[in-house]
Chains A and B, each alone.
Chain A
Amino acid sequence: MNRFVSIGVVAIGLMAASASADATLSSPTDSKITFDAAGPAGLKIEGTTSDLNVAEDSGNVVITVPLANLTTGISLRDHHMKEKYLEVPKFPAATLTVPRAALKFPNPGEKAEGDVQATISLHGQSRPLVVHYDAQDAGSALAAHGTFRINMNDFGITVPVYLGVTVKPDVDVSASFRVSKG
């Protein structure tokens, strides 16, 4: 049963930063990644996971979201989502890569906000996209939040259809987390 699916996700977010732009971002906590997909006549599907990793690599902030624990609240729909559409055994994670230099970092006690060009890898394919983000300085940590929209067709993900109900290909993704300013 499926029920559709959804997609994925990824997270985002990002952002980073820190009062000092040189600080290393690490140890994400309070992570929540959510995607919202829609079907016909008001059907809404929300998927969530709290699995998220943040790392820095060659001047980029790389946010990785393992998809194995992504859930929509209905088991069979999750099964279809992971096995049939996202093909999680073959593509176990989604990643968002953001050039660190393109991020605005908040001053101590303040909030920074902006749009950044990033690259998302999902279902074995990479696509550029724009992420809207904000980051709030919280002492030794940074609270980050980001949103973006993807289209399943851009990633070769089959648009889910179940018993005459077709999910719309556009999926809204949001992510929030806190990172230590190490």
Chain B
Amino acid sequence: MIARRLISWALAVAACVALFLLTSPAQAYPWMIRHGYTGCTPCHTDPSGGAGALTEYGHAQSDLLLRMRYGEGEGDGEADRTGEFLWGLVKTPEQLRLGADFREAYFSNQSEGAPLEQELITMRADLYGDLKIGRFRAAGSIGYVPQGDLTASLTTGADDNIISREHWIGVELDDEGSWLLRGGRINLPFGIRMIEHTLWARTLTRTDMDASQQYGVSLAVSKENFRGELMAIAGNFAIQEDVFRERGYCGYFEYAPTTTLAAGVSSMFTRATRDIVYGVTDYRYSNGPFVRYAPWQPLVLLAEFDSVYQSLTWNGHRGGYAGFAQADYEPTQGMHLMLTSEIMNSGASGEPASYDGWVSAVWFLLPHVDLRFDGIYTRTGIAATLGTAASYSNSTTWLAQFHVWL
């Protein structure tokens, strides 16, 4: 009984720590496929989307297609000036794309047998920039985090750090910018880039957009019917000791046979002399398919499933998996109702599968402003240990988020 109670406490603490460690990506809305946008450019300066500043075109789309129109038809006028960077108050040169992102959340978690946890969390407070001169590109972000994100930190405090999630230079290899070769700290190109950064598919594969970026060189391509990116990973140099740095490759390829359907595969392999979690030499392999489909403009279905295999030297092997399916329903422009379901097994011996379900609503109520509410029920599988059988722990999480971006 005591063991169970300890496990519950541990899970509750882990949930809180995870939310502190993993803040939120800026704008990763793969459901924009409902408008025929299978690729991420030309709205995002990052060829694989989700990260960094928006282009001028992307700002216009956020006004035309993202925010609630309050009875005004989507085609009734041009994009409002308030949709531009800083609500149109500042006009930047064409070559310079700037952005900012602030997200604050109220977090409540109730795990079985544990006290109620309630927190206010600054999930993101970042500035972005992207400079394009001819074919040459330079991009980066800088931000402040009260807690966590140490693997993206430029300063060395335990708390209150200045971070840079990404910074890279690159060159477009063709006139239209379909091919981008870049080097620096880059978001790992793997799977679907989701705003729901705590999805197990992101955490188990270590490919979230909060602090899991790595240094390396990547080649990205965006064409009418396909896109992809392949990155050679040189390690995360924000981690001071080289033995903890992972090296290998990461990439995805996605094919879009129509403007409302895209399916892809991801693959990653890394080796670390000492894994940052397990402390031993670790070879990690992650592979899996993903799909995005809009059978009807108000409805988008997203799904991903990844296998994760880890060879831990002298400590055996772990073969796990993580996947999710999400339905995003937009009954009227600017209001999204979502159902998300996940499954995960980290691969520990005797660990039963974990499940969860999300009920979410996002309201893009004003230019550059949205509110989000999530209710998450989680049934976490707990591996058997000496003297205890495999078991489950249940928890309920509520999140309310206020988000402003520029």
Q: A39-B42, A40-B178, A163-B57 known; A73 and B297 CB under 8 Å?
A: yes
Which of A2, A42, A45, A73 has the largest count of B CB atoms less than 10 A from its CB? A42
How many angstroms from the CA of A79 to the CA of B38 in the assembled complex? 22
Verify A41–B55 contact, CB threshold 8 A.
Answer: no
B residues in contact with A78, CB < 8 Å: 75
CB closest residue in chain B, given A76: B75
Contact call B36/A45, Cβ cutoff below 8 A? yes
B60 at the interface (CB under 8 A from A): yes
CB of B207 within 8 A of chain A?
A: no
B45 CB, min distance to chain A CBs, angstroms: 11
A123-166 interface (Cβ within 8 A of B): 162-165
CB of B163 closer than 8 Å to a CB of A:
no
Q: Are A41 and B36 in contact (CB under 8 A)?
A: no
Contact of B227 among A38, A42, A164 (CB under 8 A): A42
A113 at interface by CB-CB < 8 Å: no
Among B218-226, B233-241, B337-345, B353-361, the stretch that binds chain A is: B218-226
B146 located at the interface, meaning its Cβ lies under 8 Å from any Cβ of chain A in the complex: no
- Determine the distance from Cα of A40 to Cα of B222 in the docked complex, in whole angstroms: 9
Q: Provide the bound-state CA to CA distance between A146 and B370, in Å.
A: 46
Q: Are A1 and B60 in contact (CB under 8 A)?
A: yes
- Is A41 a contact partner of B42 (Cβ separation < 8 A)? yes
Tell me the bound Cα distance from A142 to B39 in angstroms. Answer: 37
- Asked if B39 and A42 sit within 8 Å, CB to CB, the answer is yes
Is B177 in contact with A41, judged by CB distance below 8 angstroms?
A: yes
What's the least CB distance linking A144 to chain B, in Å?
22
Query: Who on chain A is nearest to B222 by CB?
Result: A42
Is B78 within 8 A of A43, CB to CB? Answer: no
CB–CB A76/B39 < 8 A: no
Query: B227: nearest residue on chain A (CB-CB)?
Result: A42
* CB–CB B35/A74 < 8 A: yes
Chain B residues whose C-beta falls within 8 Å of the C-beta of A90 in the assembled complex:
none
Partner of B36, one of A2, A72, A165: A72
B191-212 toward A: CB 8 Å interface, digit per residue (1/0)?
0000000000000000000000
A41-B41, A46-B259 given; A162·B57 CB < 8 A: yes
Residues of B within 8 A of A44 (CB): 36, 38-39, 224-225, 256, 259
Residues from chain A with a CB closer than 8 A to the CB of B77 are: 76
Which residues of B292-348 have CB atoms within 8 Å of chain A's CB atoms? 297
A117 at interface by CB-CB < 8 Å: no
B74 touches A75 (CB 8 A): yes
User: Considering the chains assembled together, what is the distance between the CA atoms of A74 and B222 in angstroms?
Assistant: 22
Known: A1-B64, A38-B224. A43 touches B56 (CB 8 A): no
Residues of chain B whose beta carbon lies under 8 Å from any beta carbon of chain A: 35-39, 41-42, 47, 55-57, 60, 64-65, 73-79, 94, 176-178, 222-227, 256, 258-259, 297
- A83 to B228, alpha carbons, bound, how many Å? 36
Chain B residues with Cβ below 8 Å from A40 are: 41-42, 176-178
Q: Please, what's the 1-or-0 string for A66-103, where 1 marks a CB less than 8 Å from any CB in chain B? A: 00000011111111000000000000000000000000
Partner of B79, one of A1, A38, A41, A164: A1
Q: Are B36 and A42 in contact (CB under 8 A)?
A: no
Nearest Cβ on chain A to B347's Cβ, whole angstroms: 36
With a CB–CB cut-off of 8 A, which chain B residues contact A1? 60, 64, 78-79
Instruction: Across the A-B interface, give the 8 residue pairs with the lowest CB-CB distance, nearest first.
Output: A75-B75, A42-B222, A40-B176, A42-B39, A41-B41, A76-B75, A44-B224, A163-B57
Question: Which of A2, A41, A75, A76 contacts B222, CB < 8 Å?
Answer: A41
Pairs A–B under 8 Å by Cβ, sample size 8: A1-B79, A2-B78, A42-B226, A72-B36, A74-B64, A163-B56, A163-B60, A164-B57
**Given contacts A1-B78, A78-B75, A79-B75, A165 and B42 within 8 Å (CB-CB):** yes
Given contacts A44-B225, A78-B75, are A164 and B64 in contact (CB under 8 A)? no
Question: Bound state CA distance, A44 and B297, in angstroms?
Answer: 16
Decide: B39 and A41 in contact? CB cutoff 8 A: yes
Residues of A within 8 A of B64 (CB): 1, 74, 76
A150 to B78, CA, bound (A): 28
Interface residue from B47, B60, B79, B224 paired with A43 (Cβ < 8 Å):
B224
Which of chain B's residues have a CB closer than 8 A to the CB of A38? 224
CA distance A163 to B57 in the complex (A): 5
Q: How far, in angstroms, from A178 to B74 measured CA to CA in the complex?
A: 34
Q: How far is the CA of A72 from the CA of B42 in the complex (A)?
A: 17
In the complex, what distance in Å separates the CA atom of A46 from the CA atom of B297? 14
Q: Could you say which residues of chain B place their CB within 8 Å of the CB of A73?
A: 35-36, 259, 297
Q: Are B60 and A42 in contact (CB under 8 A)?
A: no
Choice from B36, B56, B74, B76 contacting A164 with Cβ under 8 Å: B56
Q: Are A41 and B38 in contact (CB under 8 A)?
A: no
Give the nearest-CB partner of A36 in chain B: B224
Residue of B nearest to A77 (CB): B75
Residues on the A chain within 8 Å of B258, using CB: 46
Q: Say how far A103's CB is from chain B's closest CB, in angstroms.
A: 29
Mark out the residues of chain A between 35 and 55 whose CB falls within 8 Å of any chain B CB in the assembled complex.
Answer: 36, 38-46
Partner of A42, one of B56, B65, B74, B224: B224
Docked pose: A75 CA to B69 CA in angstroms = 13
CA distance A53 to B26 in the complex (A): 48
Q: When the two chains form their complex, are residues A76 and B41 in contact, meaning their CB atoms are under 8 A apart?
A: no
